[in-house]
Amino acid sequence: MTEPEYGSFDDEAVSKALEAARAPYEGTDVRTAQKINTTDSGGLEIRAQCISLTSGNHKVCLNLPLGLGSICIPLPFDLPDGTAVRACLS
């Protein structure tokens, strides 16, 4: 069996997305909030980056940012080895 090929997200793209996500809350002390609504997402999605991955052995492998490590995600359907897929980090 061959070693899986790991895709990686660009560190700068991840940093910029995190910075954009933090910006609306800058200077806010959430400890003083009277109510926090966890179901209202506001419909905003900040996408850091999408990368191309190649399937192999019924899974795709990628390196996660922020020191989270490398993972291989099993595919719940039959996808031929070598098929190009996309993974997006939001």
In total, how many domains does the chain have?
1
H-helix or E-strand spanning residue 6: strand 6-8
Assess if residue 37 is contained within a domain.
no
For the stretch 32-66, pLDDT in tens is: 877 766 666 666 788 889 999 998 888 899 999 98
Residue 24 counted as domain residue: no
Q: What is the helix, strand, coil percentage profile of the chain, to 5?
A: 20, 30, 50
Q: Quick check: is 26 in a domain?
A: no
Q: Is the pTM for the entire model greater than 0.85?
A: no
Residue 75 is part of which domain span?
1-16+45-90
Contact 9, 49 (CB under 8 A): yes
